[in-house]
Amino acid sequence: MKRLEVEFYDSNFRHGWEGDDRDELAVATAMGYCKSEDEAQLTLIMAYSNFGLNFAKLTIPKSAIVSIKNVRLQ
């Protein structure tokens, strides 16, 4: 599986009473293995096993992605 670093606009979700706060999207960075990708989304997982198990799945809409970099171990 490809190892990727993905920078993307994350959701800003809050509820309840709050002050006059910024209504902006955070730019987040995630690193993981590319489980799947299509024209609408990219799914990363943190770890996988030879039994077919996946750990910590994150699906990011393509419209939210700022950049994608391949990660190589040195």
Q: Which residues constitute the domain of residue 49?
A: 3-12+25-70
Report if residue 19 sits inside a domain.
no
User: CATH code at 41?
Assistant: 2.30.30
Contact 55, 1 (CB under 8 A): no
Report if residue 17 sits inside a domain.
no
**Rounded to whole angstroms, how far apart are CA atoms 4 and 34?**
7
pLDDT in tens, 2-61: 999 999 999 877 778 877 777 888 899 999 999 999 999 999 999 999 998 999 999 999
**Rounded to whole angstroms, how far apart are CA atoms 51 and 32?**
18
Question: According to the model, what pLDDT value does residue 8 have?
Answer: 97
Report if residue 51 sits inside a domain.
yes
Report if residue 18 sits inside a domain.
no
Q: How many domains is the chain built from?
A: 1
Report if residue 50 sits inside a domain.
yes
